[in-house]
């Protein structure tokens, strides 16, 4: 066990990450965004389309999310697509639509920032920054986002261990931003029926290792709409601080990730069931 000193305090550190560790901070981090708290006893519901596609699209979905008691509207404007020929997002226009739709429906909003050069722009529109799976170890991005004062949701890299992930969070914390939310979104395994394998053990494991809140994304975590509700219930039962799901009025016509996107009926049923069975 090594001892590292931070400011005036010395704490024994059993892991490579320190600021993110439960040993360093035994009280759980609760992040206040507007009137909402992420962490603690609240279950945060983040929902919205994979991508912001148009003003009308995001306003309709925002109304649906709000009607069902969601807290945060998601919607990508800068999209990390595997193919350069796929829809890349509306950029700043998308962010503008997202923020307006969220405000109109009394929701907060989150969107991904992919590049250090876009941080100032994205910061003007979102309440929470999202760092995507593919950028979990983009260290310049992590350091620079650590200098902002908006909360950051850090998605787990698709081949990252818990240590890799918490070390990535450590970069943000160490740069001065204490408001980091982790997001489990599935990892690559040999399974191909699902897009990724949602690692539910990550929830209690992260709570054992860290004071940071953890959100679960069963949409990217399964890649299949039919599997999303069950995995959302399982995540809540396992102690997740919230869930993030993709929802669209007409998933078959979505410009990205339609297969894993809930339609309004499935979304409403899922939220009702979560509220009914809420285990805490």
Give the footprint of ligand PEP on residues 186-225 (CB under 6 A).
220
206's enclosing H/E stretch is helix 202-209
- The residue among 71, 105, 73, 111 whose CA lies nearest residue 93 is 111
Cβ proximity to Mn ion, 43 vs 50, nearer residue:
50
Q: Distance between CA 263 and CA 251 in Å, rounded?
A: 6
Q: In a 3-state reduction of DSSP, which class is residue 214?
A: strand
Cβ proximity to ligand PEP, 21 vs 256, nearer residue:
256
- Which range binds Mn ion by CB under 5 A, 8-16, 27-35, 44-52, 199-207? 44-52
- Count interface residues toward ligand PEP (CB under 6 A): 10
Q: Which two tokens stand for residue 7?
A: 């400011």
257 binds Mn ion (CB under 5 A): yes
112 binds Mn ion (CB under 5 A): no
- Residue nearest ligand PEP, Cβ-based: 132
Cβ proximity to Mn ion, 53 vs 257, nearer residue:
257
Q: Which two tokens stand for residue 199?
A: 């690692």
Residue 217: partners with Cβ closer than 8 Å, 6 or more residues away: 155, 183, 184, 185, 186, 243, 244, 245
Give the footprint of ligand PEP on residues 109-128 (CB under 6 A).
112
Give the footprint of ligand PEP on residues 126-185 (CB under 6 A).
132-134, 155, 185
**Which of the choices ligand PEP, Mn ion, none does residue 155 contact, using the CB cut-off of 5 to 8 A by kind?**
ligand PEP
- The residue among 151, 129, 153 whose CA lies nearest residue 215 is 153
Cβ proximity to ligand PEP, 19 vs 62, nearer residue:
62
187 binds Mn ion (CB under 5 A): no
50 binds ligand PEP (CB under 6 A): yes
**One of 40, 69, 80, 176 touching ligand PEP (CB under 6 A):** 80
Q: Dihedral through CA 56, CA 58, CA 63, CA 65, nearest 10?
A: 160
Cβ proximity to Mn ion, 158 vs 205, nearer residue:
158
Residue 35: partners with Cβ closer than 8 Å, 6 or more residues away: none
Q: Which two tokens stand for residue 1?
A: 């066990």
């Amino acid at each position: 066990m090594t001892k590292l000193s931070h400011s005036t305090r010395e704490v024994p550190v059993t892991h490579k990450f320190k600021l993110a560790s439960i040993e360093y901070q035994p009280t759980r981090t609760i992040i206040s965004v507007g009137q909402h708290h992420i962490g603690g006893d609240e279950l945060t519901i983040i929902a919205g389309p994979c991508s912001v596609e148009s003003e009308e699209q995001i306003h309709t979905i925002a109304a649906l999310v709000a009607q069902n008691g969601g807290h945060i509207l998601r919607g990508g404007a800068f999209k990390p697509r595997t193919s350069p020929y796929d829809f890349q997002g509306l950029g700043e226009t998308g962010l503008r639509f997202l923020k307006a739709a969220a405000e109109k429906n009394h929701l907060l909003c989150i969107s991904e920032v992919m590049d250090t050069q876009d941080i100032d722009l994205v910061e003007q529109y979102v309440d929470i920054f999202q760092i995507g799976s593919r950028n979990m170890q983009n260290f310049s991005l992590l350091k620079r986002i650590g200098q902002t004062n908006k909360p950051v949701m850090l998605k787990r890299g698709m081949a990252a261990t818990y240590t890799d992930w918490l070390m990535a969070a450590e970069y943000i914390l160490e740069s001065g931003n204490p408001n980091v939310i982790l997001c489990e979104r599935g990892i690559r395994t040999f399974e191909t029926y699902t897009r990724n394998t949602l690692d539910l053990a990550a929830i209690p494991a992260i709570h054992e290792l860290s004071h940071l809140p953890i959100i679960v994304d069963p949409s990217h975590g399964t890649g299949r709409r039919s599997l999303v509700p069950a995995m959302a219930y399982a995540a809540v039962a396992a102690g997740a601080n919230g869930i993030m799901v993709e929802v669209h009025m007409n998933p078959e016509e979505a410009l990205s990730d339609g297969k894993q996107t809930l339609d309004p009926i499935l979304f409403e049923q899922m939220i009702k069931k979560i509220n009914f069975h809420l285990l805490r």
